[in-house]
Structure 1
Amino acid sequence: MNPFEWLFDATLTIGDQQILWREIVGNGFGLASALGGLRRKVWAWPVGIVGNALLFTVFLGAVFHTPNPVNLLGQAGRQLLFIAVSIYGWIEWARHRHASADHVAVEPRWASWKVRVALGLGMVGGTLALTPVFQALGSFEPVWADAWIFVGSFLATWGMAKGWTEFWLIWIAVDIVGVPLLVSAGYYASALLYGFYGVFTLVGFITWSRIQRRSRGVTTVP
């Protein structure tokens, strides 16, 4: 068995539970990407893409005949969206770093109120629109939670690419729903990482807010 076959099929057994190693490795790449985003590093994007590719196969358990034969279509589909938006973010951050005098990949900024309202409406409206679609395709219950995670993940990644500090708050909203959904679906490694992400994203929000205050001399958050 070559290394790629081993990575695809290998599992970690904990009690009576089997966890795919590619779920663990994929989430590890995701965590590294989040750390890179916190530090505003361009490498955060390609590292995240590797994790997305691995997790895409994990969340189609019934399709790939994994030990956990559960399809989370929102979770799987968002990996493809991640890859597409990450390519955009990678280009934008690299371009900004090249043009910046201090070689910073992104300057954190607050989104306008118009954008904030659009993000909120997008979260709710997108969830309502996709829930019946995912339900018809056979996604895991509760389907609205899978749709919420799908929409929120897209908006958060887009916000990160644009440099909006609010993207960290969207991730928190995703994590709050994501942890119980993943536990109920049997994706324990991802649920554990989601729980950690929830704390990490709060730290990220505080860090980016402080960067804004230092760079603009602002002492209060709008």
Structure 2
Amino acid sequence: MDAIRWLFDSTFQIGDQTVLWREVIGNLFGLVSALGGMRRKVWAWPIGIVGNALLFTVFLGAVFDTPNPVNLLGQAGRQIMFIIVSVYGWWAWKHRSSAGLGAVEPKWAGARTRILLAVALVGGTAILTPLFTALGSYAPVWSDAWIFMGSLLATYGMAKGWVEFWLIWVAVDIVGVPLLLSAGYWASAIMYVFYGVFTLTGFFVWARTRRMQALPVIPDPAPVSVP
């Protein structure tokens, strides 16, 4: 119980900002999960779920009576979404791994799927913005909705093995950093900067892996018998 109480109550200062340690710890779990995802490790999913659970309590600041009483409904809601989609991703990768196929095989989503992802991102943001506004999310509310939809699509894309899911994370980070800074979530904003660099790296790593997989396999030359 003492460890749980410390986790929920412990803070530190960055200038005049009070930061929860569980915000830092939750984001570190997310970073480790992203590292595991880049390496296509099954353990990336349960590690990420732990971080999601911690961050859910952080982004409902007014509900959990934290030093930063700001509710980011999109940020909090996406943690629940992360957990749900991560259970699917965990099962899918583990199922492939158990079948001897490897956790996941990176592949390009294709032109049609890319268009559908872009439409879903923009359309979902437009639909969720008035909903989040009515629920009292932090302004600009469209940013919160964009982050929620982008996170949903990126997590699903990771489960499917689409290389493009890394670029969706980049789009999320670009909007997420200024929103989190304005809302006072400094630790998460700083981590988003690291995520941005990391997700670009992940994209090139997966793209290279896919390119190497597409190369034709040249069989070894037949042995030449010497009379």
- TM-score norm. by structure 2 comes to 0.93
Show the counterpart of 1:77: 77
Q: Distance in 1 between matches of 2:141 and 2:14?
A: 28
Tell me by how many angstroms 1:98 deviates: 1.3
Q: Distance in 2 between matches of 1:63 and 1:93?
A: 35
How many pairs were matched up?
Answer: 216
Show the counterpart of 2:96: 96
- Secondary structure of the structure 2 residue equivalent to 1:45: helix
Show the counterpart of 1:175: 173
Show the counterpart of 1:142: 140
Tell me by how many angstroms 1:195 deviates: 0.6
- Secondary structure of the structure 2 residue equivalent to 1:61: coil
2:159 to 158, 161, 168: 161
Q: Distance in 2 between matches of 1:196 and 1:38?
A: 14
Q: Distance in 1 between matches of 2:109 and 2:170?
A: 17
- Secondary structure of the structure 2 residue equivalent to 1:139: coil
Q: Distance in 2 between matches of 1:201 and 1:143?
A: 24
Q: Distance in 2 between matches of 1:45 and 1:186?
A: 28
Q: Distance in 2 between matches of 1:173 and 1:60?
A: 23
Q: Pairwise mapping of residues 26-41 of structure 1 onto structure 2 (< 5 A)?
A: 26-41=26-41
Q: Pairwise mapping of residues 41-80 of structure 1 onto structure 2 (< 5 A)?
A: 41-80=41-80
Tell me by how many angstroms 1:96 deviates: 0.7
- Secondary structure of the structure 1 residue equivalent to 2:19: strand
Show the counterpart of 1:125: 123
Tell me by how many angstroms 1:148 deviates: 0.1
- TM-score norm. by structure 1 comes to 0.96
Q: Distance in 2 between matches of 1:213 and 1:15?
A: 46
Q: Distance in 2 between matches of 1:186 and 1:217?
A: 48
Tell me by how many angstroms 1:80 deviates: 0.1
- Secondary structure of the structure 2 residue equivalent to 1:52: helix
Q: Pairwise mapping of residues 190-205 of structure 1 onto structure 2 (< 5 A)?
A: 190-205=188-203
Q: Runs ≥4 in structure 1, deviation > 4 angstroms?
A: none
| Identical positions, percent | 68
Show the counterpart of 2:8: 8
- Quick one: which amino acid aligns to residue 181 of structure 2? V
Q: Could you list the runs of 5+ residues in structure 2 that have no partner in the other structure?
A: 217-227
Show the counterpart of 2:185: 187
Q: Distance in 1 between matches of 2:174 and 2:186?
A: 15
- Quick one: which amino acid aligns to residue 131 of structure 1? T
- Quick one: which amino acid aligns to residue 122 of structure 2? V
Cα deviations across residues 98-126 of structure 1 (Å, max 9, x unaligned)?
A: 1125xx21000001222111100000000
Show the counterpart of 2:86: 86
Q: Distance in 1 between matches of 2:215 and 2:180?
A: 41
- Quick one: which amino acid aligns to residue 31 of structure 1? L
Cα deviations across residues 37-57 of structure 1 (Å, max 9, x unaligned)?
A: 000000000000000000000
- Secondary structure of the structure 2 residue equivalent to 1:148: helix
